[in-house]
Structure 1
Amino acid sequence: MQLTSKINTILHHLEKIQSFNAQDPMDDTRKYLETMSFQLSGKREPVAVIEELHISLEGRDIPIRIYRPKGRDIQKSSAILYIHGGWFIAGGFETHDAVARKLANTTGSVVIFPDYRLAPEHPFPAGLNDNVETAKWIVHNAENLGLDTDKIGIIGDSAGGALATAVSTQIGEYFKFQILIYPAADDQLNSKSWETYENGPVLNKQGGIEAWKAYLPEKEKTNPLAIPVLIKDFKNTPPTLVLLAEHDPLIDDGKKLSENMKNAGISLQISFYKDMVHGFMHMGEILDEVQTAVDEMAAFAQEKLDSKNVG
């Protein structure tokens, strides 16, 4: 495995991160992601307006953050539902804030970011249900939110890519495009890339096994909505862009998911990021590829939002 000097610098930095006052292994995992994101994401771009509110449902609320790059008074804005990663067990507003800000400013779209429920406290399908409910809420409240229901897309990274795929499989008619960033698509962790990168960089196989175990109840182990590579009918899934990183144990799973989508007739583009590792979108302090990827996503989104047809 040949890694660039910049990637090696990042990996040396990651080795030195220690979670502050971690209470248990799960807390340690969550704090590690927070620390990594804070230290490596770079300066957070200012966004014109950022709002925080809750979607009230029977028995629970879903916290959401809304990034408005053009301010609050814009009507009929395009919108993106952004679903964060973190192995289904970690992540939230602070870990993915820098990415959400970049996406909002570069695309010019309102980015809506749900802080969905995490495993193991809330295993599948809790997080998926929260994201489906958020998508429905966006559509049903579009006028009050100043959004155009004909210009909505969905983006998910890593575990968020699995969740985005499942959301689109159910209600893809809501979206003009989908973008999956190094998606976590299979719980088996038995691909060639998992063999190659069993011990990293960034991810390791044992951590993946534990994450899927925390997320996936025994009775759901063959549920395609939990494990995207098992999906056969992608139904109304919109045109999709998949971003893959070269040195990522998830790359083969992402390729398999992409192949399944293509075979199902989904309009698909795959973009390969040479030399990159899993989670590189959090490494904008050092990697120019972060802005390159955001620019590519923005161009894809704009093309699909401007298109008259969803195919």
Structure 2
Amino acid sequence: MQLTEPIRQILNHLETIHSFNAKNPLEDTRKYLETMSLQLSRKKEPIAMIEELNIPLESHQIPVRIYRPKGKDIQNSSAIIYIHGGWFIAGSFETHDAVVRKLANKTGSVVIFVDYRLAPEHAFPAGLNDCIDTVKWVADHAESLGIDANQIGIIGDSAGGALATGVSTQVGELLKFQVLIYPAADHQLNTKSWETYETGPVLNKEGGIQAWKWYHPEGADHPNPLAIPILIKDFKNTPPTLVLIAEHDALRDEGEELSQHMKDAGIPVRISFYKDMVHGFMHMGEILNEVQKATDEIAEFAHQHLKTAGK
């Protein structure tokens, strides 16, 4: 494994991060992701407005954060639903704040970040249902949100990529495009890339196995394709998709296989391979120029599929 000097610098820094006063491994994982994101993301970009609200459902509420980009009319905007990663067990508004601000400004779209329920407290399908319900709610309330209901896309990174894939098979008719950033797709963790990167960088197999058990406890005996995208047979309403793959990533092979499954099903798919990159590189804008490159590529893809984006 030949790592570039910036990547080695990042990995050395990651080894110095220790979660403060974590009570158990789950809390340690959650705090670690927050600390990594805050320390390695570039200074947060200013945007026009941030709003937080709760989507009311019968049994609970879904917190969402709405990012409105600089220099855009608040009315009739295109929109992007963002589904965060964190192995289904971690992640929050703050872990992805820098990434989402950058995407909002570059795409010119309102970005709606979903704070879906996490495992193990809420196993599958809770988080997926929250994401599906958010897409439906945004489409139903588009006018009051200042959004064009016909100009909505979805982005998911890592575990969020698995969730986005499930969402798009269920309500893809509401979506104009999909971006999957180094997506998780398979609970078996038995690919060649998992063999190569079993102990890192960034991810490790032991943690991945535990995360999948927490997220989808029935997965070993009764795997559900909506939880495990590699098993999806019918991509039906899935919109045109861009998949970003990182070279030194344990999830590389399953991301490529998922992309091929979509292609085989007739979905327009573009795969973009980020040489030298590791899992989670979108959080590393303080050091890596590739973060801006990926942001630009995502924005270009969005502009191709959203009439109002970027205007």
Same fold (TM over 0.5): yes
Aligned to 1:299: 300
How far is the alpha carbon of 1:306 from its aligned partner? 3.0
Amino acid at match of 1:174: L
Offset of residue 218 of structure 1:
1.5
Shift of 1:150: 1.2
Q: Which residue of 1 aligns with 2:24?
A: 24
State the Cα RMSD in Å. Answer: 1.2
For residues 82 and 223 of structure 1, the distance between their equivalents in structure 2, rounded to whole angstroms, comes to 23
Residues 40-91 of structure 1: CA deviation (Å, up to 9, x unaligned): 0120111110001100111201110000014785211000000000000000
2:48 equivalent in structure 1: 48
| Secondary structure of 1:218's aligned partner | coil
- Give the match's secondary structure for 2:165: helix
* 1:99 alignment partner AA: V
* One-letter code aligned to 1:290: V
Aligned partner of 1:89 in structure 2 is: 89
Tell me if the contact between 1:63 and 1:115 (Cα under 8 Å) persists in the aligned partners.
yes
Task: Return the TM-score normalized by structure 1.
Answer: 0.97
2:235 corresponding residue in structure 1: 234
More moved, 61-70 vs 218-227: 218-227
The count of aligned residue pairs is 307
Q: Deviations over 1:176-221 (max 9, x none)?
A: 1000000000000000000000010000100100100110122674
The superposition leaves residues 225-254 of structure 1 with CA deviations (integer Å, 9 ceiling, x where unpaired) of 000000010001000000000000000000
SS in 1 for 2:203: coil
2:229–2:258: 8 Å Cα contact kept in structure 1?
A: yes
Alpha-carbon distance in structure 2 between the residues aligned to 1:63 and 1:96: 15
Q: For residue 286 of structure 1, what is the aligned residue in structure 2?
A: 287
Deviation at 1:23, TM superposition (A): 1.1
Which aligned runs of 4 or more in structure 1 are off by greater than 3 angstroms? 70-73
Three-state SS of the structure 2 residue aligned to 1:130 is helix
Q: Which residue of 2 aligns with 1:266?
A: 267
Does 2:250 match 1:252?
no
Partner of 2:65: 65
Per-residue CA deviations over 1:116-173 (Å, capped at 9, x if unaligned) read 0000000000000000000000000000001011110000000000000000000100
Structure 2: runs of 5+ lacking an equivalent:
none
Measure, in 2, the Cα distance between the counterparts of 1:49 and 1:100: 13
Residue number in structure 1 paired with 2:165: 165
Inter-partner Cα distance in structure 1 for 2:75 and 2:105: 17
Partner Cα distance (2:21, 2:223) in 1: 37
CA distance in 1, matches of 2:306, 2:109: 10
The answer on whether the counterparts of 2:72 and 2:108 sit within 8 Å (CA) in structure 1 is no
Unaligned runs of 5+ in 1: none
| Separation (CA, whole Å) in 2 of partners of 1:184 and 1:270 | 15
Letter in 1 for 2:7: I
Cross-structure match for 1:191: 191
Give aligned-pair identity as a percent.
73
- Cα separation, 1, equivalents of 2:24 and 2:113: 27
Q: Which amino acid aligns with 2:31?
A: K
Kept in 2, the 8 Å contact 1:49–1:71? The answer is: no
- The letter of the residue matching 2:224 is N
